[in-house]
Amino acid sequence: MEPAGSLVIGLMSGTSLDGVDAALVDFTADQPRTLQTHWLGFPADLRQQALQLQTAQHDEIHAAALFSNALVQCYAKAVSELLALGHTETKLIAAIGCHGQTIRHRPAAGYSVQLNNPALLAELTGLTIVADFRSRDIAAGGQGAPLVPAFHAAVFGDPAMHRVILNIGGIANLTDLPPGGPVRGFDCGPGNLLMDAWIERHQGLRYDDAGGWASQGQIIPELLNKLLADAFFSQKPPKSCGRDEFNLAWLDRQLMGNQKPADIQATLLELSALSAAETIHRYCGNPKELYVCGGGARNLTLMARLQHHLPECRVASTDFLGQPADWVEATAFAWLAWRTLNGQAGNLPEVTGARGQRILGAIYPA
């Protein structure tokens, strides 16, 4: 039996809108240890609601409230199934760190909205909930994102090796970990988001398994250059982005209507790889190792393109560092919740641009 209070559950549902990642994490030792993981897919209607809420709609406040309640039901089910898989008693869990579902990220306007109902989640699970991680950083003048670089620095930093951690979810973000130097981190562009949306439109699939479809197409240089001309790519960090900037409507405005769908998929994959690689070259110096986490780590074509653009780096998944690539973000939000419970700052001002370190999150006691 684990000592009471040493276990935290992290929940993450990201911009891919595919489902909930749940991780049971042990904080007994100096380094967090992921004991059990579980993925629960979104029901089709819940995913459709999330997609609709990405843009303004009639009576969206009511729609957002109903979605939040339905989402939390899904979160609660994921927690229940996670605990059953790990044969873990509820009384051993200190808290759940729950990020919520981002539908707007507008730090320049002073806000970022993650739909959630942590009070209901506390009622459904009987556990303390830590939520709303971004607001305090934004209130302190930061972007409120990315938040995972603090976790990356804690678990992946090496005193002798210059590493970069690249998280490729719906959006790609990186963390620069130079030995003895300042940690930096920021979003570098679309990760899987556009590729997922494009293959769903044309083949009805949620994602391009291992990048197989993209590997059948040819990169369209003219289209790639048009996409890379977006102002986001030339912005200096700190910076963050989301579906507000990168979506199918944005892509459609760049298309000429006569390109083959597989070629567009290949170009979107190249956009993800090249935007990340160019960002690393521009801001991270000459790292020796690049470790990838998130769904993009399973895209073999994308990993190969990253290696092509970064021949001086060893490119591998975070599996090799003891943190399974699919679960890094969920584990990170368990870590952030643990920091909050212990009165410790969870942001890195040099990453988000905030005026200083802040304790993140709001606590909803069991």
In a domain, 245, yes or no: yes
In a domain, 188, yes or no: yes
Q: What is the pLDDT of residue 71?
A: 98
Q: Are residues 202 and 339 in the same domain?
A: no
pLDDT for residue 57 is more than 50: yes
Instruction: List C-alpha distances in Å: 123 to 71, 76, 111, 118.
Output: 14, 10, 27, 9
Q: Are residues 135 and 72 in the same domain?
A: yes
Q: What is the pLDDT of residue 3?
A: 41
* pLDDT tens per residue, range 216-251: 999 999 999 999 999 999 999 989 898 889 999 999
Q: Are residues 129 and 158 in the same domain?
A: no
Q: Are residues 170 and 319 in the same domain?
A: yes
Which of the four pLDDT bands, split at 50, 70 and 90, describes residue 2? very low
Widest Cα–Cα separation across the chain? 62
Q: Which domain holds residue 129?
A: 7-144+326-364
Q: Report the CATH number at residue 47.
A: 3.30.420.40
- Identify residue 252 by its one-letter amino acid code: D
Nearest to 153 by CA among 328, 337, 281: 328
CA distance 131 to 121: 10
> What is the number of structural domains in the chain?
2
pTM score over 0.75: yes
In a domain, 2, yes or no: no
Contact 23, 148 (CB under 8 A): no
Helices (H), 239-283: 248-252, 261-283
Q: Are residues 311 and 353 in the same domain?
A: no
Q: Are residues 316 and 349 in the same domain?
A: no
Q: Are residues 63 and 138 in the same domain?
A: yes
Mean of per-residue pLDDT scores for the chain: 95
In a domain, 335, yes or no: yes
Q: Are residues 255 and 337 in the same domain?
A: no
Q: Is the dihedral of CA 63, 69, 75, 77 positive or negative?
A: negative
In a domain, 209, yes or no: yes
Region 180-208: what's the mean pLDDT? 94
